Structure 1
């Protein structure tokens, strides 16, 4: 697998890609993606990440100073009360300078909250202490089962240790960092585990400032993986059957509201520089994340060019997707 290090000198912008950099979805929350590698092979992964991926061809790592310069430029545009959520189409704790990133984000005006998405396998007392000292506000922990055998199966690696991950979760909850347990509910797979995870969240005192749980609905994605036996729910079924039943049994409010629970509000998005259907000339700069894809640049944005047979030079493309300033093009 190819590894691409993205620096200011690389000439690759940090807006436009789903794989790295900064994603602005029109709210006061900015997704910050410093890297995209993963150490698990979850059979329900929405992006087919991990060591056994059949579609992923490249990993990316953004130089810390370059990433921070982009945040310092974009965050003020969003107005006061910005949350920087460090996530990845993988595992963010693989980024070696994570505590430095957290500390720098916390000191960036107008950032008020810094949160982190993680599968928890790389969390230990040393890392938790470093992240707490850096000012991390919340850990969103991807924890999908308590049963050791099922938890290992859902991680996709034999070395997954649910006891270690749950121990790390309790250590996070005891620190100055808030803990939110964020399981993906897969009907037919982990039905019996959700009540156990709710009990675990209560037992370790998760959710001091933020909600203790954020139960996610399983969805099928074009380049994702779907475990055998899963029954995909409609949103109506998810909220009015599953969530409602767990709320009644637990006494907790499990329907999260971005405004009420996280202080996330609609804000103007960064201006789009392309329109869907527009034709443009892009400069090919790096291999794409999936086989048959290349990353091009134009107008200071990254464009993922699908079905591209050139590894360098200019390519004429038609823009087929522009949502959230994430650009996809196809050669013409």
Structure 2
């Protein structure tokens, strides 16, 4: 009775027959081949060499599946039990990262190697637990096959993705990351950090009220974030410019604009005016130097020029806000 109540609908691996283990291996090989083809499809437009590598890895999985099916036919006949990895407790699972677009190049390669290592490790552990000699032999053969997949994947990578191609694809991936996330996010951070300085510090020195200043900063930051986010998303669909998804760019811009403004608005939650103001000024200069570092690191802007543009410009806006607030 208790077993029926606690039943999860999954079989334990120890309860599987040799035929079911073989059927599980067949379905797993089929799934992995389809995953590799999905990786190839997701990489083909931007990383043709890596896509060819995954095409060949899928073909390897097809060959292993064919051999497993032949073995099943010779031992158990033509009817293969319907059992998949999700039907077995403790069996390794594949996260559907192949559905994400665009695919990350290095992450995809790492996931492929992890797939093979995970399968080989599982079969070795299962073979160590098996008491039947035939079952142990079968699981050992599967572990060896999966370990062989790792060596095959490495050989295919050397064949299709030599060092110069790898560097070219890495550069293309970096460029895509910069255009889709860094550049829009940096624009938002600059706008949020600099454009909100004047209204926040003008409100602070005009009212001397930290709570009212915080409300002004909050409204300015959120409003600017929404405006910048929609503007970025509507400005370019990314098809011709290659800047990536407008939704991702808009989200990056809007989020960083809001964060940039809230950074020096949050200190005004502190009731004491001068304590809040001193902390806010410190936060401002941290923000400005962070923007300078990002410009130098990702946009390759010379450090001195970036510092003059951001720190000097931000300082002038800060001073303008304080002067207007004291007028």
TM-score w.r.t. length of structure 1: 0.20
More strand by percentage: 1
Asked which structure has the greater CA Rg, the reply is 2
Larger RCO (CA under 8 A, 6+ residues apart)? 1
TM-score w.r.t. length of structure 2: 0.20
